[in-house]
Structure 1
Amino acid sequence: MNNNNSSCESGKAVKRIREGDDTTTAAPDRLSHLPDFIIHHILSFLDTRWAVQTSVLSRSWRPAWKHVPVLNLDSLWFRKYSIFQRFVDNVLSLHHPFKVHEMSFILYDHYDEEEDDEERDVSFIVKVAKYALSHGTHHLEFKLLGSRGYNDTYRFSNLFGTISNCDLETLELVGVCIDNGFGSSRLHMLTTLNLTWCTLTSDQNGVCNPFSNCPCLEKLILNDCRHWDWQESDLKIFAPQLRSLYMDNVDWFANVEIFAPRLKSFDFNSVLKELKLSKLTISSLDLAVIRIYDEADSMEGNEESVTQRLISLFQGLSNVTTLRLEHGTIKSSNRLPLQD
């Protein structure tokens, strides 16, 4: 008898749950009750595509992605260029017009089947670049990765125009041709600049001085950068406020001069035959890391020139507190007649 009563009560309870009886206690919707600033903070860590898709989680989350102050636009997640472009256009049109603190735009050139017109590509990229500048972006990552290699297809002045006043503090560029002086733009708040696989142009006198319009630059990274027309030119790094400098495989320049009296950290990588540092103006350094790699028979007939450059390099580092020489640097130095 007791078993029957128990079974009957269980059946009634199941029925109440199925029918949505108010006497049952429903689990609270904690997602809907999160404060907006927490939701925005969570979404800022996601690629924008995934941030948009979180709108299905809760009714209160549907418009949340439009207010996130971080945009991460990556074409890797899209199988067609046209789909990626349509997505970005929609995001930029629906995103609320307040400041975008951080923005990342990564375009891979892997849409061979589409045969997209080059001018259409540039027009689309210009739209994204102008959006970043017009919305007060502080930290911008702009990567144009693909098979075009080192050329001036994506010229900074064409993509961003002439910048007279912007909030950029950090800028990372990949695959962009940097005009001498950034096309006369004045990046007066820029403190960190990272250039990878970029080409640098020179003026009519054959001098490349691209950082003269970045008066507050404190950290500079040059990684696999070239002169845009593959002709040797003089590269001048004039940065009075620079504190950290990293240079790796920066060649196709006849001479490289560095004026950075406040520099504290210097990391330099080069192949011995491409060693082009001719003048260093550095008052004092806390740390210098020098990596110079040698290649078999690479110095034949060029010993005197490279020896002089190596001497200039170490003379410029005479005031360093800590000097770290990698094994290849010591080995390369031993091959040269420095005693002369």
Structure 2
Amino acid sequence: MATRRDGSRRREGLTAEENNGDDWLSTLPDEILHNVLSFLPAHEAVWTCVLSRRWRNLWRSAPVLRIRVFQRLRNVERFNKFVNNLLLLRDPVPLDELEFQTCTYWPTMMPRPCIYQVKYAELWIRHALMCKVRVLRVLIQTEHLAPLELSMPLVSKHLTTLQLRSVNLDNHALDFSNCPVLEDLQMNFCTISTPYNIFSQSLKRLCITKRNRTETNFIDDLSSLPALEDLELESCKISTDKMVSQSLKHLCVTKCNFEMSTHISVPGLISLRLGDNYGSIPLLESMPLLVTASVKFGTLSWGCRKCRYDPGTCVCCDGDPDGDGSVKCKFFRGLSNAAKLELVAEAGMVEHYIVRSLCILKQDLTWCPTFSKLKTLLLDGWVVGHNFRALGCFLQQTPILEKLTLQLCKGHEDMVEIEESSSSMGQLVRFENLERVEVRCLRNDEWVQKVFQILNTCGVSPDKITIQV
């Protein structure tokens, strides 16, 4: 009996809110609780309705929905039914963000996979646009079935960000002229009809990523994107002789296949990154506003496919009517205004590709212009070892260089012997403004010491040289 009285006293000591099952979290404003729900998948947000009366209908007005497949919805029919009911039962309030992902529907789980694919996806997208969604992410996880087909043009005065994954797009779906505030477009593993143009007067950032598929071509008509500032291409096929944009400020092209020596004309560019591309080597035109640039030659980088890079035989590559190297300088003419430059050649390249890809570098080093703004320079061992005298010509054109980094971490055992270059380098280059030299290597061996001696010959005092092993 005493125990009952003690328990009764404990219950009497509880507040009214505690007796009702409420807690301090439930006393927070709707805006904060909606923010909590925004981090949850949609099905977990719905499950919060059983917590208390306070939570019963909060999910209906949540401004963020993250629709994802979970164990109970591994059946496509259940998934479609859940999403349809979720959107129908939701309050008619604006959406800040809608993200829906589907799982990979394996054929063994679906007797008729082509019929039961995410057939309501376009309807869900339309519903989201009607709810004034600002951020829309359509992420289809499909490895064995056809991607989602999207053929309708999007119409929204509120959509600012669109991310698509594994979606088939035709020309109608690429017309974003009816989305006047769309600024960010990301397309990952999407199949795009060719030829195609993306139309948008407001788009500022475009990211196209496509891996292990070759049917996508990137066409150079960027005039349909007059506000574009940031362009990122990864694993795309680029089959155009020129890429032109007056508005572009940042360009990143990695793991792409250049089917020809594309002339890149982007006079307003501030930062450039070219890395691990293959096929022909692109040609860079003047970039007077360039600040930072990083160029890395991949293992399958070639010269011009018209001449297979036989210097002096191709007007496309080597035409130089004035005889001053203005046309021959394919890379450095465009990079000459950079304040920070990284130049790397893949260390794992076989000899056949070394000759072809670095031949264009050697010619550029010989004809290179003055880098009047360059203060920070990084060069790797392949560039240094195979073109050491030409490198001296290049360094001679860097009058205000302050920091030089030589990266000798991979494969420098096979470099060309450079000890005979020491005296000639000292005659060519005198580092007057150089404040710091950093040599990165796997081990401090004889080859590194040779580089150290050459730097001393060029007037670099030992206290300015740091060797990082």
Q: Specify every segment of 5 or more residues in structure 2 that has no aligned partner in the other structure, as ranges.
A: 279-297, 311-315, 318-327, 365-469
Q: Relative contact order (alpha carbons < 8 A, sep ≥ 6): 1 or 2 greater?
A: 1
Deviation at 1:286, TM superposition (A): 2.2
Deviation at 1:43, TM superposition (A): 0.6
More displaced stretch, 127-136 vs 261-270: 261-270
Q: Is the 8 A contact 1:263 1:285 kept in 2?
A: yes
Distance in 2 (alpha carbons) for counterparts of 1:144 and 1:222: 16
Q: In the TM superposition, what are the counterparts of 1:146-225 in structure 2 within 5 Å? A: 146-148=142-144, 154-157=148-151, 161-180=152-171, 182-186=173-177, 187-202=179-194, 207-209=195-197, 211=198, 213-224=199-210
1:93 aligns with 2:81: no
1:72 aligns with 2:93: no
Task: Name the SS of the counterpart of 1:41 in structure 2.
Answer: helix
Q: Using structure 1 for the length normalisation, give the TM-score.
A: 0.78
100, 103, 113: which one aligns with 1:105: 100
Distance in 2 (alpha carbons) for counterparts of 1:329 and 1:267: 21
In structure 2, relative to structure 1, the CA distance for the partners of 1:56 and 1:156 (3 Å cut) is same
Deviation at 1:79, TM superposition (A): 2.3
Deviation at 1:70, TM superposition (A): 0.4
Cα deviation digits, residues 62-88 of structure 1 (max 9, x gap): 111011000100125532222221211
| Counterpart in the other structure of 1:243 | 229
Deviation at 1:304, TM superposition (A): 3.3
Task: Name the SS of the counterpart of 1:93 in structure 2.
Answer: helix
Distance in 2 (alpha carbons) for counterparts of 1:97 and 1:40: 15
Q: Is the 8 A contact 1:171 1:193 kept in 2?
A: yes
Distance in 1 (alpha carbons) for counterparts of 2:63 and 2:210: 32
1:25 aligns with 2:14: yes
| Counterpart in the other structure of 2:45 | 51
Structure with bigger gyration radius? 2
Deviation at 1:184, TM superposition (A): 3.9
Deviation at 1:110, TM superposition (A): 2.7
| Counterpart in the other structure of 2:249 | 264
AA of the residue aligned to 2:245: A
Cα deviation digits, residues 8-38 of structure 1 (max 9, x gap): 9x646424248x5xx4234732243222222
287, 290, 293: which one aligns with 2:274: 290
Distance in 2 (alpha carbons) for counterparts of 1:43 and 1:119: 33
More displaced stretch, 284-293 vs 274-283: 274-283
Task: Name the SS of the counterpart of 2:240 in structure 1.
Answer: strand
Cα deviation digits, residues 269-290 of structure 1 (max 9, x gap): 135x645562323113222122
> How many residue pairs are counted as aligned between the two chains?
315
AA of the residue aligned to 1:224: K
Deviation at 1:58, TM superposition (A): 1.6
Distance in 2 (alpha carbons) for counterparts of 1:119 and 1:102: 28
Deviation at 1:316, TM superposition (A): 5.3
| Counterpart in the other structure of 1:5 | none
Cα deviation digits, residues 98-157 of structure 1 (max 9, x gap): 1111010111223431234534435311221111111111111111121247x6x53332
In structure 2, relative to structure 1, the CA distance for the partners of 1:108 and 1:263 (3 Å cut) is same
AA of the residue aligned to 1:166: K
Deviation at 1:183, TM superposition (A): 4.9
| Counterpart in the other structure of 1:324 | 342
Q: Is the 8 A contact 2:164 2:187 kept in 1?
A: yes
119, 125, 132: which one aligns with 1:123: 119
Deviation at 1:195, TM superposition (A): 0.9
Q: Specify every segment of 5 or more residues in structure 1 that has no aligned partner in the other structure, as ranges.
A: 1-7
Q: Percent identity?
A: 23
1:81 aligns with 2:88: no
Q: Using structure 2 for the length normalisation, give the TM-score.
A: 0.58
Task: Name the SS of the counterpart of 2:120 in structure 1.
Answer: helix
Distance in 1 (alpha carbons) for counterparts of 2:211 and 2:329: 24
AA of the residue aligned to 1:109: T
CA RMSD, 1 decimal: 3.6
Task: Name the SS of the counterpart of 1:288 in structure 2.
Answer: strand
